[in-house]
Structure 1
């Protein structure tokens, strides 16, 4: 069974078994409608944003887990399709059971033995029913998988005829082209399974599964591998499923964070964060993180939104799709980055046209020098961008000249008094110093700390002061270094 370590050790459950939390214990079936708890992984730092989106689109309150990057919320199965429309979540799973104070034993052997016993006593029925229903929804998302998969793997033996028949339908949102081949293979597999299901009894099929353990904490007496292995062995024996680490039908999740234990079944095969990008760059942002940044600045109707270092265009493209009452300008100093952005925009437009919807997007792409933007002073409402961290793009040394020059030019094009900026960077020391030198032009309102590819970064929300550009000490001071800043910037291969 697969595992992901997040800490050291942990004690083990009680022979009788711990009492579950009320949220999953009260799951009930009312006719064909099942009330269950959905868990979602979200970009670390944007849990509140994700909870707000759940409240806004589904109308329920989400609970933020003690384990960062996860939220939980209750729904009924007739609302399941709405969960797939959320833009701030990476992965979804249905909760089988959760324990907020799991009484781990001190002995590793006792702990693992009780985990094996736990697997046979969990209320699996509702979660498995939701997993089966979810198959009719999530298969629709990958419309780009088409029906032309060229490679057919072994049968997906757990897929019933109902799921297979609905598999080629489409949801408005699709996974990225990078996922296309995988999902095309899934379609071909399910079609084969559907044909075989007419000849073979469902009881003769063998469901393939795997257990993934995500563990965090330093008081556990076992490893993630040990927990996944023993718990998975008990699941296999209980259901008579077949373990398969790669071609599995069901992924059982065992999430352990200190004394909190959540058992779930995955509802997404691949993360939803790559939904808009087909041409990736070295520092392409996750679409879910882009969505969180956009919600932070609250785009309004007719706002002009600028990304001066767009890279592959992930931020403005997400905005043009989800907040399409604003207009987006995407630009970069590197021609390869601009080409990637144009290709990504064209990809989305083709996708929209194939679905029969209007293919126009409120976005334009330009190549420019970000320290000398061809934009009228005070004409932009929001500046939102991923600044170079100085690692894969640019350098820490160059950032000391680049950041002040960027902030000055952003202040010039931004509307005094009402303009905002949402800027992502991991070079916190340099950015903080640059902002302190821009006190007459920018005010820092809020900071969200996020995890970007394992790096601790900050998303800074800034407010443009009412000062007229060209009449502050910052303008005079910064103008002396503009030439050097531009020279350093042009030396960078790409900013995204």
Structure 2
């Protein structure tokens, strides 16, 4: 499939996405960009749209944004370098007119990005003249599968670069190229594109301190079913990454972050100030095991439950999980949403605590009836699970709805009232 501009002026793009994030990105490009021809392969979502570059920069679940040059079936490269160069020239580089059309679109989008009111006509003419010259480039190739047995990325970068120079007349520049040509070759796909932005979309300029990856934090916030004036709680907020993503999605919401670690809360406050949201988020130093909030007082609870070496906390989370879940269930109102990011181990454990998860396990035969512990959290109804990658490990995002207020909670509230 070759990239071309349609009659309506739309262009083919693609975004890279972390493992497990493709479904979020598919929904986002359809909803925010009114995109068409939306499709995906693992780690990439392709689409056509007329949206301007600034609109595409507001995609929150994407890693990087590219103009699509070519999306083709898998390319098998001969082990002989000379023959491989011929195949690359035909199947990866292809028609020079295609590259000229893509560079024309790339130049237009860069002009849109850099446009400012004070730019003079002379500077515009100079930039237009420069855009007609052959660009400098470098190749960034990622190869997997059968081809990776014969060629490493460095070798392919060189072979593809030579093919581009010979076919297009472009000059290689490894240090400060005009464009970077990205090539992805696997046993299933061959994708060629040019990135539109120097910084990844996943980089958030408003974060002074980083914690959970921003794309996953946004995905968790998007699952909270936020409405006007929603009250959102993160009982183990760390540096506040999830809350800052949620603030972007719900301008009139109320956001509360809690953490027992004062140093983490200090960083969270600095993040909120850097993002210009200091009036929107309240931070409280508190234990997640005894939340200082009334029962049924928040609309959504969202939490990256700590695990692993980097983000672990002082407590044994496996032992603490039942009480932690009970506290989250208590403060959540009926109809509210609970979103949790859990390690694979904690995800397995929670099946024994939430009846709806236990029944699901029984239905697929993964857990025997004698293994299932019908826990007290019977007001939580499982809505979805999403497996996502955290780099060195995977995790699961669980989403629940609170269907009713448990009877013991009602009795407890009555006693407090009396």
Aligned equivalent of 1:265? 194
Partner of 1:107: 79
2:357 equivalent to 1:424: no
Identify the residue that residue 300 of structure 1 maps to in structure 2. 227
Q: Quote the Cα distance in structure 2 between the aligned partners of 1:387 and 1:205.
A: 53
CA distance in 1 between partners of 2:231 and 2:313 (Å):
30
Alignment of 1:119-268 (within 5 A): 119=93, 121-122=95-96, 123-139=98-114, 166=115, 197=126, 202=130, 207-218=135-146, 220=148, 221-268=150-197
Q: Distance in 1 between matches of 2:117 and 2:389?
A: 35
Other structure's SS at 1:466 match = coil
Q: How far apart, in 1, do the equivalents of 2:342 and 2:153 lie?
A: 32
Whole-angstrom distance in 2 between the partners of 1:367 and 1:96: 51
- Structure 1 counterpart of 2:64: 91
Question: Cα distance 1:106–1:34, how it changes in 2: closer, same or farther (>3 A)?
Answer: same
Kindly indicate whether the alpha-carbon contact (under 8 Å) linking 2:259 and 2:265 is maintained by their aligned counterparts in 1. yes
Higher relative contact order, structure no. (Cα contacts within 8 Å, ≥ 6 residues apart): 1
Aligned to 2:247: 320
**Match for residue 332 of structure 1?**
259
Q: Aligned partners of 2:315, 2:259: CA distance in 1, in Å?
A: 20
- Picking from 456, 464, 468, the partner of 2:394 is 456
CA–CA distance in structure 1, aligned partners of residues 117 and 302 of structure 2: 37
Q: CA 1:446/1:433 → structure 2, altered by over 3 Å: closer, same or farther?
A: same
- Deviation of the 1:449 alpha carbon: 0.5
- Find the aligned partners of 1:209 and 1:444 in 2 and give their Cα distance: 49
Quote how far apart the aligned CAs of 1:117 are. 4.1
1:368 — aligned with what? 286
Identify the residue that residue 15 of structure 1 maps to in structure 2. none
Equivalent-residue separation in structure 2 for 1:340 and 1:83 (angstroms) = 29
2: CA distance, partners of 1:206 / 1:167: 25
Residues 365 and 203 (structure 1), Cα distance of their counterparts in 2 relative to 1, 3 Å cut:
closer
Taking structure 1 as reference, are residues 238 and 311 closer, same or farther at Cα in structure 2, changes over 3 Å only? Answer: same
**The 10-residue stretch of structure 1 (47-56 or 202-211) with the greater mean CA deviation from structure 2:** 202-211
Contact in 1 for aligned 2:347/2:396 (Cα 8 Å): no
After TM superposition, the score normalised by the length of structure 1 is 0.70
Stretch deviating more after TM superposition (450-459 or 434-443):
434-443
Q: How far 1:48 moved relative to its partner?
A: 1.7
Q: Is the 8 A contact 2:272 2:278 kept in 1?
A: no
Segments of structure 2 that go 5 or more residues without pairing to the other structure are 356-375, 413-418
Q: Which of 32, 44, 51 in structure 2 is aligned with 1:70? A: 44
The separation in 1 between residues aligned to 2:263 and 2:313, in whole angstroms, is 19
1:20-59 mapped onto 2 (5 Å cutoff):
21=1, 24=2, 27-28=4-5, 34-59=9-34
2:359 is matched with none
For these two proteins, the number of residue pairs brought into alignment is 384
- Alignment partners' CA distance in 2, 1:454 and 1:167: 42
Asked if the contact 1:47/1:64 (under 8 Å) is kept, the reply is no
Contiguous gaps of at least 5 residues in structure 1: 1-20, 140-165, 170-189, 350-358, 476-496
Q: 1:89 to 1:372 in 2, by over 3 A?
A: same
Counterpart secondary structure, 1:229:
helix
Separation in 2, partners of 1:387, 1:63: 33
Distance across 1 between alignment mates of 2:78 and 2:221: 46
Q: CA deviation at 1:55?
A: 1.3
Contact 1:333–1:369 (Cα < 8 Å) also in 2: yes
- SS of equivalent residue, structure 2 residue 223: helix
Deviation, 1:436, is 1.6
Q: Is the 8 A contact 1:87 1:288 kept in 2?
A: yes
